[in-house]
Structure 1
Amino acid sequence: MDDPQLDLAALSAWAGDALGDASEPITATRIGAATGIANALYELRRGDDVFVLRRPPAVLNDKSAGDMVREWRILEALEGTAVPHPTPRLLCEDPTVIGAPFLVMDRVDGFTPGYELAEPFRSDLGLRRGLAEAYVDGLVELAAVDWQERGLEGLGKPEGFLERQVSRWLAQLDRYRTRDLPELDFVTDWLERNRPTMSPAAILHGDYSPFNVMVAPEPPARLAAIIDWDTGTIGDPLLDIGHLLARWTNPGEEPVLTLQAGGVDHYPTRAELAARYAERSGRDLSALPYYESLALFKLAVILEGRVARAIANGVPDKDNTMAPLVERLMVAAAEFARGERV
């Protein structure tokens, strides 16, 4: 395999027999596109054993992104809990082995329901409500984990978590800001003035959506795993449900980022999913618009990093397709704040 991000000889020598029979060669296949801005994934095979290797992207918006040690700690902490997740196998913190820290985990049998659905979920419209409810139930299980008992002290700083959010993301934006963004001043001011009392601290995924879960291949709809934990922390878990619901599209609504693969029909509404989360978690969602607005503001800042990088690389405005998406996210954040999206 010719891939500059994965030296199989070095990997094999480092792993020894920890991934099966050391006399068997390790082969690797890249999973997903080699964009250089997303974490790189490889399917590893050694004999009959199959694993997934995950390493940071070649380009980072922020030094905290692509944190393999953080992801490893969370995956280990989730072992034995009701939260579906890949089983962690190996962590390498030495960047000299393949050029970056990496982790190896078991392959999960399932599919990611981002843009498309696998059968029978594609054809059986009745399964779509169950899919949406499974997304919510995964967050309910995650928020119920006793993170202190699971050894995650020091993973994050839950004290003052919400107080830090606006300044933290504005500071990141300032590192690469190249243009004015619509509604930015309104959104940040509104978030500061309408900050609620934080919900009891829990494990926060940080980027929760159907793009970061895997669904079991056979009905009934259930999660096979929640994946991509490198931005996880200890904080306010309502930001995760806010992130999911802010990007969820109600029927007849102008979409921001539609998460319902196959169209919005036959899926529950935001209100129905919020009610399910509140009932099952016992957490107060009366300030949900704050979390929805904060989630879109945060996402807009992150994606603006890609816009700035494209501008720096000379990409013409008409081809910088991320730019209008960032603007839509900021406008939608303002709409949640004003109560124009419910």
Structure 2
Amino acid sequence: MDDQDKIAAWMDAQGLGEGPLENIAEIGGGTQNIMLRFERSGRPYVFRRGPQHLRPISNKVILRETKVLAGLAQTDVPHPRLVAVCEDTSVLGDAVFYLMEPIDGFNAGESLPEPHASDPAIQHAMGLSMADALARLGAVDHVAVGLADYGKPDGFLERQVPRWLSELESYSALENYPGPEIGDVDGVARWLEERRPTQWQPGIMHGDYHGANVMFSRTGPELVAIVDWEMSTIGDPLLDLGWMLATWRYPGQDTVLGQALMDAPGLCTPDELVEQYARNTTRDLTHINWYAVLACFKLGIILEGSNARAAAGLAPKEIGDHLHTATLRLFERAQQLIEGAR
């Protein structure tokens, strides 16, 4: 029995249609997780599981995603609707998986379709829609939606700088990695520790909120779903806004990650993102520059990990070079934000 038949048999037991899976198509994305779209009894589904060769935490990550999606079902946050979860690894031999409803939309990371590609007003509103959706996420009461134990918010901000400095230090164990030549890491770390906010309100964090992890309406600027919840947790939601600012295109500067939306001429400014978020939140945005610097610091160190792995022959050199350039830009942005805050 192949995997399609095993999934169909499991769906039989869940009362989810009958007969074979039809019109199966692979869905690409930024991760190695396997995603398929198919139909059964005329209803469309999206299937998601970990990579073909599971890592030790792959199943845990997939099940965490299902937990946050189940919690979001009670909210106005745009997200893929969870249909059913299979926690039984014996069904596919090793992997847990889940089914969700397809999203009628597109990912703006790679390209913009029409009318988005040629309408600066739509491009401008797409960024504002991202800020709106993020504010909605930040407004969710995570305890009320069953996510009280989804993360460890106590000490969340205090853990960030030591955690990521330790991650950067760990790269030195990789063969042929010359060390992190990425800017004044220690200086940025000191600035973050000296100015860390002392009061904040815990909430759901997406953890990787940028233009390639959301989907937009095919007809207008509306964000229709936030996707890829692998890095979600309970922490300080303002770090998600900082992450958005860290990856946004600033006037007169290169983009950090080179996404289609970031190259659009009508793109709104970082200040407009903050203003739009502020209209839809009760959170104190006084220290938003601090969160943007922390996001540059954290994301830069994460991306430098690919450069270190490439040096050791564990990742393609061109990917390592590309992400190293992104890290340099992130630490340059961190310095600019620090200078602007003085």
TM over 0.5: yes
Q: Distance in 1 between matches of 2:316 and 2:61?
A: 32
1:3 aligned residue: none
Larger CA deviation: 62-71 vs 246-255: 62-71
Aligned ranges for residues 228-267 of structure 1 at < 5 Å? 228-258=228-258, 261=261, 263-267=263-267
Unmatched 5+ stretches in structure 1 = 1-5
The CA deviation at 1:59 is 7.7
The CA deviation at 1:207 is 0.5
The CA deviation at 1:233 is 0.9
Q: Distance in 2 between matches of 1:181 and 1:27?
A: 48
Q: Distance in 2 between matches of 1:175 and 1:157?
A: 23
Quick one: which of 72, 78, 82 aligns to 1:78? 72
1:280 aligned residue: 280
CA distance 1:262–1:122, change in 2 (3 Å): farther
1:105 aligned residue: 100
Cα deviation, 1:120-163, whole Å, max 9, x if unaligned, reads: 11122221221111000001111111111111011011111100
Q: Distance in 2 between matches of 1:336 and 1:266?
A: 23
Q: Between Structure 1 and Structure 2, which shows a larger proportion of helix residues?
A: 2
Quick one: which of 22, 32, 35 aligns to 1:38? 32
Q: Normalised by the size of structure 2, how large is the TM-score?
A: 0.87
Larger CA deviation: 95-104 vs 113-122: 95-104
Quick check: 1:132–1:267 contact (8 Å CA) kept in 2? yes
Quick one: which of 163, 168, 190 aligns to 1:173? 168
Q: Distance in 2 between matches of 1:57 and 1:327?
A: 30
CA distance 1:53–1:174, change in 2 (3 Å): farther
Q: Distance in 1 between matches of 2:110 and 2:126?
A: 14
Q: Distance in 1 between matches of 2:169 and 2:54?
A: 15
Q: Distance in 1 between matches of 2:237 and 2:72?
A: 16
Larger CA deviation: 265-274 vs 63-72: 63-72
The CA deviation at 1:292 is 0.9
Quick check: 1:247–1:259 contact (8 Å CA) kept in 2? no
How well do the aligned residues superpose, as a CA RMSD in angstroms?
2.8
1:13 aligned residue: 9
CA distance 1:329–1:57, change in 2 (3 Å): farther
Q: Distance in 2 between matches of 1:331 and 1:103?
A: 40
Q: Distance in 1 between matches of 2:216 and 2:315?
A: 36
Q: Which amino acid aligns with 1:157?
A: K
The CA deviation at 1:291 is 0.8
Quick check: 1:67–1:230 contact (8 Å CA) kept in 2? yes
Question: Number of paired residues?
Answer: 333
Q: Distance in 1 between matches of 2:86 and 2:37?
A: 17
Secondary structure of the 1:150 match is coil
The answer on 1:87 being equivalent to 2:88 is no
Secondary structure of the 2:263 match is coil
Aligned ranges for residues 196-215 of structure 1 at < 5 Å? 196-215=197-216
Unmatched 5+ stretches in structure 2 = none
Quick check: 1:65–1:231 contact (8 Å CA) kept in 2? no
1:329 aligned residue: 330
Secondary structure of the 1:243 match is helix
Larger CA deviation: 252-261 vs 270-279: 252-261
Q: Distance in 1 between matches of 2:315 and 2:86?
A: 36
Quick check: 1:215–1:222 contact (8 Å CA) kept in 2? yes
The answer on 1:301 being equivalent to 2:295 is no
Q: Which amino acid aligns with 2:118?
A: S
Quick check: 2:19–2:40 contact (8 Å CA) kept in 1? no
Quick check: 2:255–2:263 contact (8 Å CA) kept in 1? no
